[in-house]
Amino acid sequence: MNDVVLEVADASKRYGETQAVASVNLALRAGEILCLLGPSGSGKTSLLRLVAGLERLDAGTLHIGGREVDDARRACLPPEQRGLGMVFQDYALWPHLSVLDNVGLPLRERGDGDWRAAARTALDQVGLGTLERRFPYELSGGQQQRVALARAIAARPRLLLFDEPLSNLDAKLRDELREVIAHTVREAGIAALYITHDQSEAFFLADRLGVMRHGTLLQLDRPERLYERPASPFVAHFTGAAGPFAVEIMDGVLSWAGVIAPCAMPVPEGAAVLYLRSQWLRPVSAADDTVPGTVRVSGYAGDGWSALVDLPNGSIHLRLDRRVEAGERLHLRVDWDKALLYAEGHVAAG
Ligand SMILES: Nc1ncnc2c1ncn2[C@@H]1O[C@H](COP(=O)(O)OP(=O)(O)OP(=O)(O)O)[C@@H](O)[C@H]1O
């Protein structure tokens, strides 16, 4: 497809004994935000550094805008010639330059005569149009990160790389800035590869979302799909599902510590594991067709009560609309159509 901006094919990178990136394949289109989520050490930053040109591939190829930028067997294009912008956790602003000069400097350096106008447009896009004369030390962390974003988009890159850009900011600012990033990147039609530890940030921003583990891209899907049908127990767990709960599948029926339920996912007969998301369970008054739960601890959560509830062989965090006390017994109706089931052997395989 001709609007593919980034194509990563069989990309691998090893550091000594560590396989940091293992045969990763992905394609990223113009205007698309692709988020990579994964635990520490799963290879997210290594993949980003390969795309940026800060590291060389051991195997595979990278194309940006249809042009080969790295092939393990040939010469590689340096970062500054790859037509990309980067936004990192530390804002990396020049302390002695004003906001306008910070955003405009890369444009001046490449001989862009109209750099002021381009820098002002970018500052307007991130909502900082009125602060162009300030210096970085006169800005909050959130404002500094907006300047870094403006600097990255002002150069009109084809591809933007984000490495945990919001992790130094407090929760409220993170929410605000992720909206600025989503709006700005989509409006500018730039392709973005965005790595984060933060699930809600990844789900919010991503057109497609990938989960990495041990250098491998386990699943790459639309966020809704990844949430509703994680391909493995690891992806289910890493995207916040509770489990594993040990269950048994027999004659197409699920049996969980005495609870019998229909089995919605195609899973082989025998021992299996169940994962549940909290909104798929709801307390009801009658005990029929319900799962027993016992409140271990609870607290007020603004729009309801948050409770850690013990279930047969495991526990789950639930949001409830009334106060519950420790020790209280609940009858929980489960939305079995949504329940996630995997053959038991799947757990170790990730
Ligand atoms: N320059 C390096 N030299 C040796 N090992 C490295 C180097 N860079 C990364 N690694 C190793 O490669 C693996 C992947 O690291 P990477 O930084 O890509 O993970 P990550 O998913 O980005 O983690 P984090 O979320 O903590 O940033 C880790 O085991 C790490 O220790």
Q: Of 204, 228, 252, at which residue does a domain stop? A: 228
In a domain, 236, yes or no: no
Rank 20-24, 127-131, 282-286 by mean pLDDT and report only the highest. 20-24
Rank 32-41, 120-129, 176-185 by mean pLDDT and report only the highest. 32-41
Model pLDDT, residue 110: 85
| CA trace torsion 193, 197, 202, 203 (10° rounding) | 150
My answer on whether 48 and 141 are in the same domain is yes
My answer on whether 194 and 248 are in the same domain is no
Residue 150 Cα to ligand 1 middle (Å): 28
My answer on whether 211 and 277 are in the same domain is no
Helix (H, G, I), strand (E, B) or coil at 109: helix
Model pLDDT, residue 2: 59
Nearest atom in ligand 1 to the alpha carbon of residue 16 is 4
In a domain, 294, yes or no: yes
| Residue nearest to ligand 1 atom 16, measured at CA | 43
What single DSSP character describes residue 104?
Answer: H
| Residue nearest to ligand 1 atom 1, measured at CA | 15
The stretches of the chain forming alpha helices (DSSP H) are 44-52, 99-109, 115-125, 141-154, 171-188, 199-205, 223-228, 233-238, 346-349
Residue 29 Cα to ligand 1 middle (Å): 26
In a domain, 30, yes or no: yes
Model pLDDT, residue 348: 46
The yes-or-no verdict on residue 1 having pLDDT over 60 is no
What's 256's domain CATH number? 2.40.50.140
Nearest atom in ligand 1 to the alpha carbon of residue 49 is 18
Nearest atom in ligand 1 to the alpha carbon of residue 38 is 21
The stretches of 15-74 forming alpha helices (DSSP H) are 44-52
Mutate to test the pocket of ligand 1, among 13, 44, 195 (most ligand atoms within 8 A of CB): 44
Select the more confidently predicted residue: 269 or 14. Answer: 14
Residue 216 Cα to ligand 1 middle (Å): 13
| Residue nearest to ligand 1 atom 25, measured at CA | 40
Mean pLDDT, the chain, rounded, equals 91
pTM: 0.90
244 preceded by a cis bond (ω within 30 of 0): yes
Q: Which residues line ligand 1 (CB under 6 A)?
A: 15, 18, 20, 38, 40-46, 197
The yes-or-no verdict on residue 10 having pLDDT over 80 is yes
Report d(CA 287, CA 280) in Å as an integer.
17
Q: Of 195, 228, 261, at which residue does a domain stop? A: 228
My answer on whether 138 and 265 are in the same domain is no
Residue 45 Cα to ligand 1 middle (Å): 7
Task: Give how many domains the chain has, as a whole number.
Answer: 2
Domain that holds residue 297: 242-346
The yes-or-no verdict on residue 180 having pLDDT over 50 is yes
My answer on whether 262 and 219 are in the same domain is no
| Residue nearest to ligand 1 atom 17, measured at CA | 45
Select the more confidently predicted residue: 8 or 176. Answer: 8
Nearest atom in ligand 1 to the alpha carbon of residue 215 is 14
Q: How far is CA 83 from the centre of its chain?
A: 24
My answer on whether 208 and 250 are in the same domain is no
Report d(CA 306, CA 321) in Å as an integer.
9
Report d(CA 149, CA 103) in Å as an integer.
9
The predicted-structure confidence for 242-269, as pLDDT tens digits, reads as follows 999 999 998 889 999 788 888 877 888 8
In a domain, 233, yes or no: no
My answer on whether 186 and 281 are in the same domain is no
My answer on whether 23 and 144 are in the same domain is yes
Nearest atom in ligand 1 to the alpha carbon of residue 48 is 18
In a domain, 219, yes or no: yes
In a domain, 302, yes or no: yes
Place of tokens 């520490």: 40
My answer on whether 279 and 135 are in the same domain is no
What's 157's domain CATH number? 3.40.50.300
| Residue nearest to ligand 1 atom 11, measured at CA | 20
% pLDDT > 90, the chain: 69
291-300 β-sheet, strand order: 281-284, 329-334, 291-300, 305-311, 314-320
| Residue nearest to ligand 1 atom 2, measured at CA | 15
Residue 20 Cα to ligand 1 middle (Å): 6
My answer on whether 61 and 127 are in the same domain is yes
Model pLDDT, residue 346: 63
Nearest atom in ligand 1 to the alpha carbon of residue 212 is 21
Q: Of 179, 202, 228, at which residue does a domain stop? A: 228
Residue 234 Cα to ligand 1 middle (Å): 19
The predicted-structure confidence for 117-158, as pLDDT tens digits, reads as follows 999 999 998 888 899 999 999 998 889 989 999 999 998 899
The yes-or-no verdict on residue 347 having pLDDT over 60 is no
Residue 244 Cα to ligand 1 middle (Å): 28
The predicted-structure confidence for 38-84, as pLDDT tens digits, reads as follows 999 999 999 999 999 999 999 999 999 999 998 878 888 888 889 89
Mutate to test the pocket of ligand 1, among 46, 56, 214 (most ligand atoms within 8 A of CB): 46
In a domain, 125, yes or no: yes
The encoded tokens of residue 166 equal: 């919001």
Mean pLDDT of 177-202: 91
My answer on whether 194 and 279 are in the same domain is no
My answer on whether 57 and 205 are in the same domain is yes
In a domain, 235, yes or no: no
